[in-house]
Amino acid sequence: MFPQFAKRRAVMSHLLVIAAVCTALTSVSHVTFAFFPQSPAAEPDDNAGFTSIFDGKTLDGWDGDPAFWRAEDGSLIAESTPEKVVRSNTFLIWKGGAVRDFELKLEFRLSSEANSGIQYRSALVPEVSKWAMKGYQADLDGANSYTGMVYEERGRGFLAPRGQFSRMAEGRKLKLISTLGEADVLKGWIRAGEWNQMHVIAKGNMLLHIINGHVMAAFIDEDSKGMATEGLLGLQLHQGKPMKIEFRSIRLKKIVSG
């Protein structure tokens, strides 16, 4: 195949994938997709319609283990040390109630050893601990090995690794619809040890993860026994080596279907 033709076909494939995502998200406005060519008419996404859910000063509106979570210098911080070890994944849970269709934006910064995630449409697991959760997760880690993927905590595991647009059919049959890009290429848009913006969109059975303006993973959930249409939001501090995780500028927009 001629290189130029192959390149054009690859670009068209990406456009078709994102067009399918756009169709599923028809009521979501101002979503910027990395694969669309830039044009003078294009406008970057903004925060219109979003509400801050973190006051930048306190843990008001959030519930988590005070031994590990604190508010400091405009950020929510989770930190474990050799003296304060996390034995089981623990979460800071937003007390604003269940969310259904929504967009969530926040900025995150992780130490090199960090392992974290953003829980959404999730549930508490009181038999494990007061601050344990299960459900959909936008995965984050300091090495950026998995950052951006769609994962399910205490559930079906890897649903859409970074660079994949996948679907889970009945019977937990996971199918790859298309690729969004090479995982390592997409990793290049994530700034290790610096602040990054995560944008999570959940509408119906479609989930979309965007980091720094680039689509990292997309997932359609058609597994009736596993899918969740609503649930809680939370932030994860993973068990393991000492780590530091920071979140700031946390904004939420609930999507009202027309």
Domain of 58, in residue numbers = 3-37+47-254
Half-sphere exposure of 119 (CA within 13 A, CB side): 27
Residue 258: what pLDDT?
59
**In the predicted structure, residue 30 carries a pLDDT above the cut 50:** no
190-to-32, 79, 105, 243 alpha-carbon distances in Å: 17, 21, 15, 19
Nearest-angstrom CA–CA distance, 116 and 29 = 28
Nearest-angstrom CA–CA distance, 209 and 187 = 13
- Given the structure tokens 């306190």, which residue do they identify? 58
**In the predicted structure, residue 34 carries a pLDDT above the cut 60:** no
> 214-221 and 164-169: which strand pairing?
parallel
User: Domain count of the chain?
Assistant: 1
Whether 137 is in a domain gets the answer yes
pLDDT averaged over every residue in the chain: 88
More confident residue, 2 or 249: 249
The pLDDT tens digits for 68-94 are: 999 999 999 999 999 999 999 999 999
The pLDDT tens digits for 107-161 are: 999 999 999 999 999 999 999 999 999 999 999 999 999 999 999 999 999 999 9
User: Mean pLDDT lowest for which of 28-42, 164-178, 238-252?
Assistant: 28-42
> 196-203 and 133-141: which strand pairing?
unpaired
Whether 180 is in a domain gets the answer yes
Residue 223 sits in a domain whose CATH number is 2.60.120.560
Residue type, 171: G
The pLDDT tens digits for 225-239 are: 999 999 999 999 999
Whether 101 is in a domain gets the answer yes
Residue 27: what pLDDT?
40
Whether 42 is in a domain gets the answer no
Q: What is the pTM of this model?
A: 0.86
Q: Name the residue among 178, 227, 197, 172 with its Cα closest to residue 50.
A: 197
More confident residue, 211 or 17: 211
Q: Which DSSP helix (H) or strand (E) runs through 7?
A: helix 3-24
Whether 171 is in a domain gets the answer yes
Confidence category of residue 18, pLDDT binned at 50, 70, 90: low
